[in-house]
Structure 1
């Protein structure tokens, strides 16, 4: 699937299966290493020394899980030790609780390390719920051991049942308290706004919504940022026709994410304005802004989903466009960039002359697309076109233009 699939989704799914395979392989190898250590006299001495102090068993398992980065591996090790009779069920349950604690520590310690504390909300929330569940289970460990041992006395199965039951019960019990817990985490770890983040709106002033005409101008100004970002994507797409820089393609796809975030921010801002405060002209302008912003975001999706995957495939296969094909694609992208500037001028000026100019350009652009496609097929019949253009030139031309709202 990864090597031979033509469909990008199937290709990526093959990569997913490869990743899962490597994870399972690593897990088995890790378990083999831990099992080897479990048979040593030193390890057995440590287990005997902490067997009378369950809290030490819990802490030891937490440390080992943190170091191994896998609670599954540690729980499997505990199951192995229990099946061999090296530890009793009480100590095995304490070790299992420690494995559940250790797996919650890793995301907190090794997760996002920036200045934005909001990135720590989920791992800290997970750690808090785990600690609460472990504390309750540890306090009632004796009756839990007696009850579960009476159900199934098999050492390995006993640990698997306890591990599964613990996680399910904690999940069910925490569900009703998710909202207050989330609110508390938001208050304790507020999001740090990065003013340099390109996806963060700059002109959507909440206080301006009290004066709709000012709010509409602020939203229009924000939409012009979408125009700039889409223009950068078109320029980058043109450069990618001949460039071999994979990072540049990845950067272009990130710009589409910025478009999505800004478009969402504009829509939320405009739809939060009190409709009773809007005049008929204000409503018309609001609809125009929403339509234009959505069109820009859609044009970015066309580039991201229809064009960039073909360019990425060109890089993977190491092929190039012919000179004529490259010229035609470059000309189309240049015309799209010009249309984008014209559309933004019309959006701000509302000038009928600009509207007529853009409408005429739409017809001319369609003709250029048809001519380019016709020339492409002529070169195919002559047999003087390379593999890349043969397979992708027409689809990129159409993907760039036929679904784009710029024209």
Structure 2
């Protein structure tokens, strides 16, 4: 077999290994990411429990990089403290070693079984979670196939002159071996795949124990780089930097003793492949036990090294739309939801400014409403673009529904803000510029409408966060209250105009248009109740379909009588 063919086979096996790992991680996050995120947010207050969670989640997702991205996003968003997040990362490092130990066994017979089970899971039922589980099983089967292909290719490669020359150049130069492994791990974004590759190379006998150990240390350093280089902002960089500092300290402690450790009889007698796996596991386990009690001081140090940036003066600039959320759909949706709630707060502030404008006749309030609306539009555009980029490889049905809910909230809040800024506030300012303040009757009519809007906005936020059906029904019922208030105010206003012939016609028209604008704003707020009610209706229909007894064949076959 030619050298070119061997390189193609080797590259293909590594690519298949990485693709299988990505399939497992992406499928499980797509199908079970939202429940996992909720569970993490509720149970990671204890550092030992956080350590165990990191081990378990990495074992399931087959990727410590994915766990690092999740923990970094939680920490940056304030959902998870930095100290527990560091404990999660220590557990994730240990969990990745367990994955290596499992995949280093001879599981060639398991690969076709996993592929078959995954295919059946995709075909038997139209269920998003079962489909995600089937994709994960197929990914695990592909990883096992890739490992078998990798082993057979390396057996053919080990006798080539070029390979022996490369290995001989690394052998003895421990620093070069460490740097090569670190760079390869960063390029592959998978420490598991690179450790398995090193184990396969060590099994050929071309790597000395000292070189194998240096390569393993390089993998541990390189595994921290993807999350660190991909972090956006000081707060997001704290956790991956802490992970890098812990591993860098471990490498600095072990590196000077590699030559001595390699000469120990107990280590020299170990099979080369087993030596790589055990060293990788022991390194992460010892670091985890040493630093689990130092997560608090380390978190304080990282906070001082990477202080939080000053809050942007423009409220329209997003605060929570970090890049890590684009990789993990449920994290990105949580980030978008937090920004959408900021929009609700901004709309509430605009309503307060409008009320101050009506009361005080100070035209500066109208200008403040306009500026807030510009920030609202800017934030809305950022959220919509962020939602479009989340989960480009596909998201679960549940996450897709949540994305549509956030989008509906954002669009309706933006439209409500546009009505307040471009119509309601401008109409009020036009009348006030003519020196015609609103009468006691007009203010007494507008106050109840204004209060209805504020209370309905609060109910809409509750429905969005909790999917509370009684609250959703209450929100829709307020539409009728607003309609009645508008109709009663309009009738009474026309009656007063007929009695007072000296009143300006345009002033009356502006008041009627203000009533209409209040109702239009409320229409956009009340529309936020529909997603929860529609989902409840779908669940009710599914329940009725499941509980309705299936009619017999005779009941549907007229020829049977």
Question: TM-score, normalised on structure 1?
Answer: 0.51
Partner of 1:356: 473
| SS of corresponding position for 1:341 | helix
Partner of 2:345: 228
Shift of 1:216: 0.6
Change (3 A) 1:300 1:197: same
Partner of 1:271: 388
Partner of 2:525: 406
Long gaps (5+) in structure 1: 1-191
User: Would the aligned equivalents of 2:431 and 2:507 in 1 still touch at CA under 8 Å?
Assistant: no
User: Would the aligned equivalents of 2:343 and 2:376 in 1 still touch at CA under 8 Å?
Assistant: yes
Partner of 2:485: 368
Which of 342, 357, 381 matches 2:498?
381
Long gaps (5+) in structure 2: 1-308, 527-561
- Moved beyond 3 Å, runs of 4+: 384-389
Cα deviation digits, residues 203-228 of structure 1 (max 9, x gap): 11111221111111111111000000
Q: Matched residues in 1 for 2:363 and 2:348: separation?
A: 20
Q: How does 1:77-96 map to 2 (within 5 A)?
A: none
| SS of corresponding position for 2:525 | coil
Partner of 2:510: 392
Q: Matched residues in 2 for 1:275 and 1:306: separation?
A: 38
Deviates more, 1:351-360 or 1:243-252: 243-252
| SS of corresponding position for 1:257 | helix
Q: How does 1:100-179 map to 2 (within 5 A)?
A: none
Shift of 1:402: 2.7
User: Would the aligned equivalents of 1:322 and 1:385 in 2 still touch at CA under 8 Å?
Assistant: no
Shift of 1:321: 1.5
User: Would the aligned equivalents of 1:369 and 1:398 in 2 still touch at CA under 8 Å?
Assistant: yes
Q: How does 1:211-250 map to 2 (within 5 A)?
A: 211-250=328-367
Partner of 1:314: 431
| SS of corresponding position for 2:319 | coil
Shift of 1:315: 2.4
Shift of 1:390: 2.0
| SS of corresponding position for 2:524 | coil
Q: How does 1:28-47 map to 2 (within 5 A)?
A: none
Partner of 1:325: 442
Cα deviation digits, residues 44-97 of structure 1 (max 9, x gap): xxxxxxxxxxxxxxxxxxxxxxxxxxxxxxxxxxxxxxxxxxxxxxxxxxxxxx
Backbone CA RMSD of aligned residues? 1.9
Q: Matched residues in 2 for 1:332 and 1:205: separation?
A: 38
Cα deviation digits, residues 185-237 of structure 1 (max 9, x gap): xxxxxxx9962321111111111221111111111111000000100111111
Shift of 1:275: 4.0
Shift of 1:386: 4.6
User: Would the aligned equivalents of 1:321 and 1:386 in 2 still touch at CA under 8 Å?
Assistant: no
Q: Matched residues in 1 for 2:489 and 2:325: separation?
A: 48
Cα deviation digits, residues 240-279 of structure 1 (max 9, x gap): 1132322221111100001101100100100011243310
Q: Matched residues in 2 for 1:381 and 1:217: separation?
A: 55
Shift of 1:381: 1.9
Shift of 1:389: 4.7
Change (3 A) 1:340 1:377: same
Q: Matched residues in 2 for 1:400 and 1:385: separation?
A: 27
User: Would the aligned equivalents of 2:325 and 2:331 in 1 still touch at CA under 8 Å?
Assistant: yes
| Number of equivalences | 216
Change (3 A) 1:211 1:291: same
Q: Matched residues in 2 for 1:260 and 1:302: separation?
A: 12
Q: Matched residues in 1 for 2:466 and 2:318: separation?
A: 23
Shift of 1:385: 8.3
Q: Matched residues in 2 for 1:211 and 1:271: separation?
A: 13
Change (3 A) 1:384 1:356: farther
Question: TM-score, normalised on structure 2?
Answer: 0.37
Which of 397, 412, 415 matches 1:295?
412
Q: Matched residues in 1 for 2:471 and 2:502: separation?
A: 39
